[in-house]
Protein backbone atom coordinates (compact mmCIF):
# COMPACT_ATOMS: atom_id res chain seq x y z
CA UNK A 1 0.00 0.00 0.00
CA UNK A 2 1.52 3.31 -1.08
CA UNK A 3 0.26 6.83 -1.21
CA UNK A 4 0.61 8.72 -4.47
CA UNK A 5 2.67 11.89 -4.18
CA UNK A 6 1.11 14.91 -5.87
CA UNK A 7 3.18 16.11 -8.85
CA UNK A 8 3.45 19.58 -7.31
CA UNK A 9 5.51 18.12 -4.45
CA UNK A 10 7.91 16.02 -6.50
CA UNK A 11 11.45 17.32 -7.04
CA UNK A 12 12.57 16.78 -10.63
CA UNK A 13 15.77 14.80 -11.29
CA UNK A 14 17.38 17.77 -13.06
CA UNK A 15 16.78 21.51 -13.04
CA UNK A 16 18.34 23.94 -15.52
CA UNK A 17 19.56 27.19 -13.91
CA UNK A 18 21.71 30.11 -15.04
CA UNK A 19 24.70 28.59 -13.22
CA UNK A 20 24.28 25.12 -14.69
CA UNK A 21 22.30 21.94 -14.39
CA UNK A 22 21.34 20.80 -10.90
CA UNK A 23 20.91 17.05 -10.39
CA UNK A 24 18.85 15.54 -7.59
CA UNK A 25 18.61 12.01 -6.23
CA UNK A 26 15.46 11.30 -4.21
CA UNK A 27 14.96 15.06 -3.79
CA UNK A 28 18.50 15.73 -2.51
CA UNK A 29 21.23 17.44 -4.54
CA UNK A 30 24.23 15.38 -5.60
CA UNK A 31 27.74 16.45 -4.52
CA UNK A 32 28.46 18.43 -7.70
CA UNK A 33 25.18 20.35 -7.40
CA UNK A 34 25.83 21.19 -3.75
CA UNK A 35 29.33 22.40 -4.64
CA UNK A 36 27.94 24.64 -7.41
CA UNK A 37 25.40 26.16 -5.03
CA UNK A 38 28.02 26.87 -2.35
CA UNK A 39 30.42 28.33 -4.94
CA UNK A 40 27.65 30.62 -6.15
CA UNK A 41 26.82 31.67 -2.59
CA UNK A 42 30.50 32.48 -1.96
CA UNK A 43 30.62 34.56 -5.14
CA UNK A 44 27.41 36.41 -4.26
CA UNK A 45 28.67 37.20 -0.75
CA UNK A 46 31.99 38.48 -2.11
CA UNK A 47 30.19 40.66 -4.64
CA UNK A 48 27.86 41.99 -1.96
CA UNK A 49 30.82 42.87 0.30
CA UNK A 50 32.57 44.66 -2.58
CA UNK A 51 29.49 46.64 -3.60
CA UNK A 52 28.76 47.59 0.01
CA UNK A 53 32.27 49.01 0.34
CA UNK A 54 32.01 51.27 -2.73
CA UNK A 55 30.09 54.29 -1.35
CA UNK A 56 32.69 55.21 1.34
CA UNK A 57 35.49 54.95 -1.23
CA UNK A 58 34.00 57.67 -3.38
CA UNK A 59 33.31 60.07 -0.51
CA UNK A 60 36.15 62.66 -0.51
CA UNK A 61 35.64 63.42 3.18
CA UNK A 62 36.05 59.77 4.07
CA UNK A 63 39.27 59.56 2.07
CA UNK A 64 40.75 62.58 3.89
CA UNK A 65 39.96 61.02 7.26
CA UNK A 66 41.98 57.94 6.34
CA UNK A 67 45.16 59.96 5.69
Domain boundaries, the chain: 31-67
> Residue 17 belongs to what H/E stretch?
strand 14-17
The answer to whether 67 and 57 are in contact (CB under 8 A) is no
Give the residue-averaged pLDDT of 29-36.
Answer: 96
Question: What is the model's pLDDT at position 37?
Answer: 96
Taking only the tens place, the pLDDT of each residue in 44-65 is: 999 999 988 887 666 776 666 6
In eight-state DSSP terms, residue 22 is E
Give the three-state DSSP class for 29: strand
Give the three-state DSSP class for 13: coil
Taking only the tens place, the pLDDT of each residue in 4-32 is: 888 788 888 999 999 999 999 988 999 99
Question: What is the model's pLDDT at position 65?
Answer: 66
Amino acid sequence: MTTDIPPSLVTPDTVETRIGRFKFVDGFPDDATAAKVYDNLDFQRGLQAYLTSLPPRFDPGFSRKLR
